[in-house]
Every structure is written in structure tokens, then in C-alpha cells.
Chain A
Amino acid sequence: MASNTLYSPRDPALKKRDDFEDILEERRSSSDLRYALRCYVPVVYKGIAPCKPGVLKTAVLQSDRLRHVVAEMSKETGESADVIREEASGILEEMAHRLRLGTVRFFAYSLSKAFKALFQRVRVNEDGIQRLQQSIQEHPVVLLPSHRSYMDFLIMSYILYTYDLSLPVIAAGMDFLGMKIVGEMLRMSGAFFIRRSFGGDKLYWAVFSEYVKTMLRNGYAPIEFFLEGTRSRTCKSLTPKLGLLNIVMEPFFKGEVFDVSLVPISISYERVLEEALYARELLGVPKPKESTSGLLKARKILSEDYGSIHVYFGHPVSLRSLAQGRINRSQYNLLPRHIPRRPSQETQAFVNETAYRLVRLQEENMVLRPWVLVAALLLQNPDGVDMERLVEQTSWLRGLAVSFGAFLDWPDYVSASKAVASSLALHTGLVRTEGGRAQLAMEPKEPGSPEEDLFDRAASVLSCASYRNQILHVFLRPALLGMAMQMAEASRKDDIYSCFSFLRDVFSNEFILCPGGTVQDFDEACYMLTKCAAVHVQKQEVVATEKGQRILSFLTSLFQPFLKGYQVVCRFLCEDAPEGFPESEYVAAVRSFAVKRILSGELTCYEALSSDVQKNALAALLRMKVVRKLKVGDQVTLRVNKVAANTLENKLGGRVSTQKALLARL
């Protein structure tokens, strides 16, 4: 099975990972200018057909695919082909990158300065770089970094330049172009811009996909894009978007390239630059439009310490070996290859599954700092915790995380107390330490209305949660098992499995859970919990052990906020949602519902205010057909099956005694 070629889930703790090197170290001791002007001769793909960006554009405009689409559209609309071609050329002009070494050198210089000011270290696994260098020569390469910050693609290009590797061309959102000069500069450093949505625009799709494919086929440069589609505001991986992945896979399916190397890259920040911004955004303060002056204002962040960045270049994954036995490439034999065609169902399933696996690979290689553990513990103790106890708990959690395969950057020689202390020191904005106790900084700086105070508190909870979220993927499967055991209220394995499967289904928009991998995930969870002696798995039963109570209660409360968040959404839909209300008002409505409940003291979970949780919950409910979308005019309204929503809420809250009946009704 393809999964075996990607990773083996057995005993993740044994995973061998590479060591890191700090690339800023050298920058601190030698001239940035010389570095920016040094001779840059990257190795290139062996089959490269070297060409200038201009030639590339012509190749795209004259491609069979585009000519075909233009002719078709001309036939459909009656518009002359020339006009449409002109339009295509305009789209391409707006989209295409204009990579220039001069601009790259400018960035190399200024980023060196900026990085040195912002970060303590930028650490890269050099073995990964070597593997990448090898791959670049053999096959077209697609770089797939995780996306947590605007910094991501600057960092990527910076590292590749540093190691003398081909600079990638990067798919970026059109919103960057709003930043006048910067947008164009990014363009000249290899970014190409795509509109966020172009649903039915056939011409746009054709130009865009042909542009990417042409670069891939020619081995023009590594192609970089973000599987998650957008920056994750929660620091938790987002479910992957498939559009670009489909595009870069097609040349392989159609035999135009021998193979494509997919390289998952995990970029982890000790402190995300956008930390405070994200929390506000999740609470409904809209995202500021990207603007040059905004960026300049962001200069004040230059004076702060953002710790270190870890960039892990994962093993290149051969698309060919993934597709072996899954995709029958001869399905493309009977239609000219330039005629666009919807991918077959098996292809779609394959692309989807691959996307999930790649995101999981990103997650697995994400470096976690001790602070992440501390944040998880602080969130579970909203009233604060003694330093001593915090150190003890952190040390305990470290052991658990490592045994579950977490990639923890916590060398053995650093004691727990030291690790906790330095974590707290870097995040003084979020934690208050007084009188030997540590507590989330919840008191507002200047008291305002109860609602404003509430939002302030929520902002610091969400900021803190964004660090906890980084480690959720390590605990996800065992935690789902723990929750399922609680929910099943029995030890029969079948019951637990069905609860596990239910929870997994509910949360599959929230976390990275590979479609169709329930059995595998269940086995993995059983294995992990057995390994740390938290449960006993027998043929028919799964029983918690004495020793396992601590682990299980930690795990379940780790995921409690999500459970609560989904419950709140269900409650809202049952009680407060008017019949057929517009989708666009959904987030605001749930939020004010939650605010009311918090103010009234019925709810203590601030994370229920996160629009991310709310949106994911809605997506899940839509998927489970508890809510349906109806199109009335040009407005989309939501219709709620209140009975189902109620049942779901009860089930999530564990307030059901006869689960069988419930399952039947769901």
C-alpha cells in the first residue's frame, strides 16, 4: 500500500531525524554585502530547457492547451479568438513572475539584516538540503512548506540561496500585489500571483495551470506552494487544498515527466511574528489589508526577540512510487493530452490522500520547543499553577510527547526547570509569573466594558492556544481513543471503535486525519497508549489502567476546547439560529451567542470564540448533513436539522446513555 512508502506509523519515537545547523551563525561573522554579491551557481535539473521568463510566457500562450481553450471559448461566446488571446496574455502578465538575480541579491542582503535582528537562530537540517540538491538534478521538484507566517517564503528562498540551490518560483496570493513596491519586488524574486478564487473562469484556470505545468516540465525551477492554501492562524495544520497539487501531478500522470519529487518542508517558529494579529483575526477583528505602510509599521517588531526558526526539509517523496498501482496512466492514452479533462474519481482520491499524507509529514517534522508543552499545561490550569508543579508536569509531558514521537527540540542537558524558565522568559506577553506561580496573562491592561475585557482575555487564550496547537498532532490519535473510551462508557472494543470513528469523522475538518484511515489510526492510537501502559488492549476490550488515568485525563482535557467549541455551535443552531439564516452571518451570530454564554457564566471556554473552530464545525455539520446549504437568489442560507444538531451536541457532551439508539438516529 502507498502508505508504507510514505511513513510507517509503528513506533514513531524511533524515527531518525537529522541534525540542524544555524545559518545565521556565519552571517553574524562575515559581510552580508559580500554574501549577497557572491557567485551564485545553483545545480539545475538535468533535463532543463533553460529559458528566460519572457520565453516562458510565449511558450504558455502558444501551448496546445491554451490554444484549444481559446478556440473553444471563442466558439462558445462568439468573441474573436484574438480578443480572448489578448485576455489570456493579460492574465499571464498579471500572474507571471520575473525572477531577477539583482532583486534576489537585494533580498539576500536585507533579509540577512532583518533575520539577525529578529531571530536568535535560523536552523536548517543540512542533510535535507543535500537530499534536495540531489533531487533537483534528477526530477522536477515541488517544495511544499508549511504555512504559518508571511516569513515562510522569504525564509525558503533565503535558505535556498544560501545553499546555492535553484531559487523556487512561488505561488502567492493576489493580495500581495496590493503592496505596491513590495509586490513587484516579490515578483522579481520569483513569486507568481494567483487570484484567491476563480471558480468558473475557464481561461484563468487554463493560463494558470499551463503556466505552472510548463515550468514543471521544463525543469525551469523548483515550484513552491502551500498545501494548506493560506497561513494557518491557529498554528495547527489546515486541511490541504488540492488545486495546485492536481496541477503539478498531471504532467506525471500524462507521461510528460518521468517523476516529480514532492518535498514536504516544516517551518516552525518559536514565536510567530503575526502572533497577536492572528488572535485578533480569529476573534473577528478583520485582517488588515496587506499594504506597504503596514509592513513599515511592522518595523517595530524588529526590536523584539522571536527566538529561533527551525526548517526541516523532509525526504523527497517520489510521486511515481506513490502512484504505483494506484493510478493507471494509460487512461490518458485515448484523448489528446492538451484537452482538459476532469480527473477520474480514483485520481481525485489519490491526490486527496497524498495531500493529507504530505501535510502529516510536515506535521511530523515540525520542531517543537519546550514552550509548546508549557502552553498546553497552562491552558489546562487557567487559574495558574505553582512553578514547581509546572516544572514537574512539563517534565512528565516531555516524556509522554517523546514516546509518541514528537520532534522536541529539548536537548538532554537542559533541565526541565531551565527549559520552563527560558520558555516563560520569551513569552512574557502571554504569561504572568508572580510569587512562584505561573498564570496566563488574563487581566486586561486597561479595563473596559465587560465585552472588551472578555475579548482581551480570549485573545491571550487564543495566542497561547496557538502554541499548544503545534503539538496536537502528536496526541491526536491517542486522545481520540481516550475520548472514545470516555464516550462509550464501556470497554467493549467495538463500541469504542465506533465512538472513535464518530469523533474522527466529526473532527476531520479540524485536524489532519487521512480520509479512509480510521482503522489505521485506531490501531496506531491503541499501539501508542499500550506502549505507555495507559491502556490494555485485548481481543474484545480496551481497558484503561491505573497508571493510565493521568495520561488519559491529560489527553481528553487537551482536546476539550474543541469538543466544547463544537457543542456551542450545535447549541447555537438548536436554540438561536433563525430558520434559513444567511451563511455570511453565521460566524458573527455564533460569536455573539458564545459571548453571551461566557458572560452569563454558562461557558468558560474562550476558544469557542475562535472563528476557526466555528468554521470547521460548520463544515463538519454540512458534511454530516446536520446543516444544509440552500441557494436563495445570490444568497446562501443555512437550514438546520435541529433534532440532529441536538443529538450531536448531546453525544459530544457525553450526555447520552443509550449510544446505540443515537448512532441509529445519526
Chain B
Amino acid sequence: MASDGHGSERQRAASRRLSAIAGHLRTAGQQQRPQVAGIHCKAESSSDGEEAARSTTVPRRRQEVMKWNGWGYSDSRFLFNKKGQAEFTGRRYRLSGMVLPSLKDWFESTFGASLQHKSPATATLNASAVPFPSLNEAFLQDLKSTGIPFSHEAEDRVFRAHGHCLHEIFALREGKFGRVPDLVVWPNCHEDVVKTVDLACRHNVCLIPYGGGTSVSSALECPPDETRCIVSLDTSQMSRILWIDEKNLTAHVEAGIVGQDLERLLNESGYCTGHEPDSMEFSSLGGWVATRASGMKKNVYGNIEDLVVHIKMVCPRGVVEKSCQGPRVSIGPDIHHFIMGSEGTLGVVTEVTIKIRPMPEYQKYGSVVFPNFEQGVACLREVAKQRCAPASIRLMDNAQFQFGHALKPQVSSIFTSFLDGLKKFYITKFKGFDPHHLCVATLLFEGDRERVLQHEKQVYDIAAKFGGLAAGEDNGQRGYMLTFVIAYLRDLGMDYYVIGESFETSVPWDRVLDLCRNVKERIVRECRERGVQFPPLATCRVTQTYDAGACVYFYFAFNYRGLADPVNIYGRVEHAAREEILANGGSLSHHHGVGKLRKHWMPESISDVGIGMLKSVKEYVDPDNIFGSRNLL
């Protein structure tokens, strides 16, 4: 293998990696992949004739590839087939086309749901139910003269009126629309954005930047009482890598590029960013910056704030950027930190210089089974203490472990099922692990082969001290797959009266166990008190380790049969869960952001003076509230 040409080895590694993590995205043949482009703005050099030919993973008319009322690609969805077995349609993912024999039992026993009780979504978007756009004619006139593409078709506007919060998707499935943007524009480059913002300021139009649309904080919701024309600024057409600097290992990229394109394009040159949030198929670079995103491999590559070298943002006040690319500077408070986490309230991020790394030579999944969650957390803490965390290390609790198991595809041979049985016997009978308490940590190692193997041994040795048993690559890989398909699974649940969502926090190490237990218990108690007829699924995993704490991720779902207003009850329970998190020393958010969903807690989270600081920045940068999404503050 080592004797292979360097380039082909890289290529192979690239394709292997993509297949492993994001799943095979089998792009349709007629779609041509985006290229590393020149620095010229396309809008300047080309007329509208070329627009149609241009295509990226994300077309302007997103609804042609993606669901308008659910997660992800239209061709990929879970369903229960005629035999009552779950299967995943399409050809994009490793799981695509497979039958998942145990999902039904898990689904029915966990939620008390039944395949007989369906709650299907409205099939098609009824354009006449969408509020008529209130357009600012003067703005529209000026916009036309710039040649920037725009649309006020109902489908385009509805698509950009929401993120993926439960209440947003639930409303769409019922065919209900609140305030939606009046206009969608697709700038092609930084200059286009400057022009758009300029016009918006001149005509007092409200702008809401739109990247991947994967927000789960109500950040994309249009304020219902906004009387101005709301323009959704879709950055998806700004998706080129403008240059790659191999000397400094940086790439300058337009902010609209989505994660999977960024990785694929860089992989072609032998590089990667290593930034892989669970939403990376759809979320955009600009969105990551605007929400302070975190990737699952942050232990090797860092979170977005560690990755970003330079940001260009267009604000009503002008363009903000630093004048150099020094790796670290002491020039007052870092203006990047006003931008990161600003959630579209200050301006639009148009271009980002981001660190890149040579693609890892070798990748290996792994998993460890622990007798209980407490031991697992203790192990993760020790790993963090010794600063030897693999690229990713996650600890799933027992419920999530069982969830993961329900997603096992049909085993192809008797031999595999025999082996599985043997493994199970070894762990539960021979080692005496209680199947209702054991939990599993999934691992992902990256680097050169030698080091990975060495690293792997170090981690497994630590795990052994906490009673952990190595449980194979397969378990590990399936754990990561779960996070990519979970959003598709939610759509399946919603077809059968089950609603749910995830939320996250970060918390000091000594509080991890207490927080996990109390939040789960609070969810169960709140559900009971609010009349939910079936016990909810409340499960968590520790998804990131830091020196001083960890990131904890919760899944919460329940069967809402018999409830008049399930979304309202869902919201109240989630609210209570967040209160519990805060009372237990957890943060308001680790990486999802605040948006409008959590801004209620901002003053207690950052103090009144802190709020004042943010407000004064907003007042200077955007005095007329052009970026009027009303997130954060």
C-alpha cells in the first residue's frame, strides 16, 4: 500500500473517508461538481444564461432535491414497508436500500407507538395558503438593476422560513405557514452581498441571511410582527474555494459552501478542514461561523473558532475584516468573536479563510463497552485529563446504545449473527454486564497508521481501568451513523405520532453525571405531569471532551397520541429541561446557538452588563436593525 503513488493513495483515502462519515453522496450524473474557482465574481463575468448551467450540491430551487417539510434529500427517507419492516430509501447513504429488522420492535416498545396509528404529513405545498409577499417595490427595482437573482415564489419563500426545530417542521407537515420571507435573493459573491446590503439599508428592508437552513434555535423564523419587507439572503451560490495556500495550510472559501462540498473539494487536493458537525451535509461555512459551530473531530482539528483565520463580513456599517492573517494577535478584543455567534444579527459572512490539514493517512473506528454510564464518564474524564482523546470520542447511555442496536441492518450471513450472539454472551454472561446498564463509547482515530495504532492502545488501556471492554469497529461506526440519520428518523416518528428533538449543553466534568440524570428525570416527570400518555424517550450522550468539562447531547421524544396540543407540551418540557440544565451548572448552548428559542435565558447567562455590551455593538453596526432576525438579544 505504501508503494502506491502518493496521489492515488490520497484519492483513495479521500473516497474512503467520505464513504465512512457523510455516506456516499451519489450525485446525479448530470450534476457537475463545483470547481476551485478563480477569484473573480461570477456575476461580473457572466450573464444570466450561464446561471442555469451552474450547479452545486445545493441548487437555488432547493425543493427540487430536498424535502420542503422534513429533513434532507427527497429521495432518502425511512418507512415501514408492507411487511412492517423499516427500510431506508434512496441510494445516497450506506444505510440506503437496507432493511432494519429490529427498528419496528424498538419503535413500538420504546414509544408505545403502533404502525396502525399514522399521522401523515400534508403531501404537497399548497401555495395559496402561503401569505402573499409584501414587496418593497423601490428595493425590487434597484435589485433588478444589479442582476442578482431573486424569487418571490411561494415554494422558495416557504423553504427559507424555517429551520429544523420541532415546532417548525410540525407546522409545515400540517400545511401551516406563519410569517415567511417576502423575497429570496441569491448573491453570487461578496460584491453582490455588498450591493444587496446597501440596497436594504437604503430602502429599509429586513435581511435574514440563510445558509444551510439547519438551525435548531428558531433563528430563521421571521419575526411575526416585522412589517418591513423581509428578504432572505441565501448564500448557497457563493460556494467556491477561492484559493488554497499550501505553504500556510489555509484555504479562502466563500461562506455559502456546505460542509460536504468543502470537504470533497479540499480532499481532491489532498486536504481537509476536519470540521464535521453532524449537519455537515447541509450546513454552510458561514452558518458555522455565525453560530460558533463545533465539529465532532474537534479534538484533532478544533472547533470553528480554532479553525478560522480570517473572516469577511458585510454589515450595514460596511465591511469588517482584519488586515493580516497572523496566526494570533494581541490587538484588543478579537473582532472575530463579535462575528462568531452573532447569528445573523450583525451582517452576512461572505468569505472565510480557514485552516486546512493534509488528509489523514489512516482512519479507524472503535468502541468500548462499559458496565455503566458512571464508569464511562470516569473513563472519558481520564482520557481528557491525559489529553489523549481520539479525533472523536462519544459515550452513549444505555437507551441510546439500544437505539443504535435497533438500527442494525439485516445480517447477511448466519455466521455474523452467530458472532453477534457470541459477543453478547461474552459481555453479558461472562463479564457480567447488565444489558440495562451497560453503555458504549464510540471512537474515531485519525492520523498515520503507526500513531493511530499506538493511540488506540493508549485509549483502550485507560478504558480497561474503568472496566471497559473493546467492542469492535462495527459498533463504533454505527454509533456515528446514528447521528447522520437521526433527523431522517424523526420524520419517520412524526408519521406515527412520535415527536422529538435533540438539545445540547456543556458542563464541567464534576457535574456531568448529575446533569445527565437530573435532566432525563426532569423530562420524564414533566411529561407525566403534562399528561403525556406514554413514557418518553430521554437519552443522552457525552459527545465532546474538553480539559474542564464535556458537551452533553440529549434526545427527547414521545408518543403524543391523546394530546390536544403536542407541540406546546413538547415546548414546555424542553423549556423545563433547559431550566434543569442551567440549574445543574450546564450552559445555555454548546454549539446549537441561542436564536430566538433560548434568548429568554440570555440575561441570566451573560449578565445584564454582558447584554449591554452586545447591544452596543449591534447599535453601532446595524443601527436600523436591517439584520432584523431578532436572534440572541
Q: Smallest Cβ distance from B515 to chain A, in angstroms?
A: 7
**B582 is an interface residue with CB less than 8 A from chain A:** yes
Most chain A beta-carbon neighbours within 10 Å: one of B514, B517, B582, B583? B583
With A336-B510, A337-B510 in contact, do A258 and B585 touch (Cβ < 8 Å)?
no
10 sample A-B contacts, Cβ–Cβ < 8 Å, listed by A number: A47-B517, A255-B515, A256-B514, A258-B518, A258-B522, A328-B583, A329-B584, A330-B583, A337-B510, A337-B511
Decide yes or no whether B51 CB sits under 8 A from chain A.
no
Confirm or deny: A332 has a beta carbon within 8 angstroms of a beta carbon on chain B. yes
User: What B residues does A336 contact at CB under 8 A?
Assistant: 510
Asked whether, in the complex, the Cβ of B518 is within 8 Å of the Cβ of A330, the reply is no
Q: Is B521 an interface residue (CB 8 A)?
A: yes
Decide if A258 touches B510 in the complex (CB within 8 Å): no
**Residues B521 and A258 in contact, CB atoms below 8 Å apart:** yes
* Docked pose: A337 CA to B510 CA in angstroms: 9
Given contacts A336-B510, A337-B510, A255 and B583 within 8 Å (CB-CB): yes
* Size category, B interface: 10 to 19
B 541-577 binary contact with A (CB < 8 Å = 1; else 0): 0000000000000000000000000000000000000
Interface bits A251-279 vs B (CB < 8 Å: 1, else 0)? 00001101100000000000000000000
> Are A330 and B510 in touch, CB under 8 angstroms?
no
**A20 nearest CB across to chain B (Å):** 31
A333 touches B585 (CB 8 A): yes
B377 → A minimal CB distance (Å):
14
14 extra interchain contacts, Cβ-Cβ under 8 A, other than A255-B514, A255-B515? A47-B517, A255-B518, A255-B583, A255-B584, A255-B585, A256-B514, A258-B517, A258-B522, A259-B521, A328-B583, A329-B583, A332-B585, A337-B510, A337-B511
Give the residues from 321 to 348 in chain A that come closer than 8 angstroms, CB to CB, to chain B.
Answer: 328-330, 332-333, 336-337
A236 to chain B, nearest CB (A): 38
Q: Mark A41-69, 1 if CB is under 8 A from B, else 0.
A: 00000010000000000000000000000
Q: List A contacts of B582 (CB < 8 A).
A: 330
Q: B511 — which chain A residues lie within 8 A by C-beta?
A: 255, 337
- CA of A255 to CA of B583 in the docked complex: distance in angstroms? 8
Interfacial residues of chain A within 157-204, with CB under 8 A of chain B in the complex: none
A632 to chain B, nearest CB (A): 48
Q: How far apart are the CA atoms of A640 and B549 in the complex, in Å? A: 58
A217 to chain B, nearest CB (A): 10
List A1-58 residues whose CB lies under 8 Å from chain B.
47
In the bound complex, what is the Cα–Cα distance between A256 and B584 (angstroms)?
9
Give A402 Cβ to nearest chain B Cβ, in Å: 35
CA distance A333 to B515 in the complex (A): 12
Residues of B within 8 A of A258 (CB): 517-518, 521-522
Q: Nearest Cβ distance between residue A50 and chain B, in whole angstroms?
A: 13
Chain A interface, DSSP helix/strand/loop, else mixed: loop
Residue-wise, chain A 585-624 has the 8 Å CB interface mask toward B (1 for contact) of 0000000000000000000000000000000000000000
- Inter-chain CA distance A330–B582, complex, in Å, is 6
In whole Å, how far is B606's beta carbon from the nearest beta carbon of chain A?
A: 13
Over the window 607-630 of chain B, the binary record of Cβ atoms lying under 8 Å from chain A Cβ atoms (1 yes, 0 no) is 000000000000000000000000
In the complex, the chain B residue whose C-beta lies closest to that of A253 is: B583
Which residue of the partner chain B has the closest CB to A338?
B510
Determine the distance from Cα of A336 to Cα of B511 in the docked complex, in whole angstroms.
10
Contact indicator per residue, chain A 623-660, by CB within 8 Å of chain B (1) or not (0): 00000000000000000000000000000000000000
Closest to A47 in B: B517
With a cutoff of 8 Å between Cβ atoms, the chain B residues found around residue A328 in the complex are 583
Chain A contacts for B517, CB-based, 8 A = 47, 258
Docked CA distance A255–B514 (Å): 6
CB of B605, distance to nearest CB on chain A (Å): 10
Interface bits B489-524 vs A (CB < 8 Å: 1, else 0): 000000000000000000000110011011001100
CB-based closest 3 A-B pairs: A329-B583, A255-B584, A333-B585
Cα–Cα distance between A259 and B510 once the two chains are bound (Å): 19
For A256, the chain B residues whose CB sits under 8 A away are 514
Residues on the B chain within 8 Å of A330, using CB: 582-583, 585, 604
- Kindly list chain B residues whose C-beta atoms are within 8 Å of the C-beta of A47: 517
A329 to B583 alpha-carbon distance, docked (Å) = 5
B536 CB to closest chain A CB, in angstroms?
A: 16
CA of A337 to CA of B511 in the docked complex: distance in angstroms? Answer: 9
Determine how close the nearest CB of chain A comes to the CB of B63; give it in whole angstroms: 43
CB distance from B629 to the nearest CB of A (A): 28
A332 contact set on B, CB distance < 8 A: 585
**B372 nearest CB across to chain A (Å):** 10
* Nearest CB on B from A337, distance (A): 7
How far apart sit A258 and B515, CA to CA, in the bound complex (Å)? 9
When chains A and B are docked, how far (Å) is the Cα of A47 from the Cα of B520? 13
| Nearest Cβ on chain A to B253's Cβ, whole angstroms | 38
Query: Closest Cβ of chain B: how far from A335's Cβ, in Å?
Result: 10
With a cutoff of 8 Å between Cβ atoms, the chain B residues found around residue A329 in the complex are 583-584
B583 CB contacts on chain A under 8 angstroms = 255, 328-330
Residue of A nearest to B517 (CB): A258
Q: Which of A47, A256, A259, A330 has the most CB of B within 10 A?
A: A330
Chain B residue, CB-CB nearest to A251: B514
Cβ of B436 to closest chain A Cβ, rounded Å: 12
Complex CA gap A79/B521 in Å reads: 45
When chains A and B are docked, how far (Å) is the Cα of A255 from the Cα of B518?
Answer: 7
Q: Which residue of B lies closest to A318 (CB)?
A: B525
Query: Given the complex of chains A and B, what is the CA–CA distance between A452 and B336 in angstroms?
Result: 90
Contacts of B515 in A (CB 8 A): 255
What residues of B have a CB within 8 angstroms of the CB of A255 in the complex?
511, 514-515, 518, 583-585
Q: Smallest CB-CB separation from A329: which chain B residue?
A: B583
Cα–Cα, bound, A632→B584 (Å): 47
- A residues 235-261 near B (Cβ < 8 Å) are 255-256, 258-259
Complex Cα spacing A336 to B517, Å = 19
Interface centre among B515, B582, B584 (most CB of A within 10 A): B584
Q: How far is the CA of A337 from the CA of B518 in the complex (A)?
A: 16
Residue of chain A at shortest CB distance from B521: A258
From B522, B582, B585, name the one whose CB has the most chain A CB atoms within 10 angstroms. Answer: B585
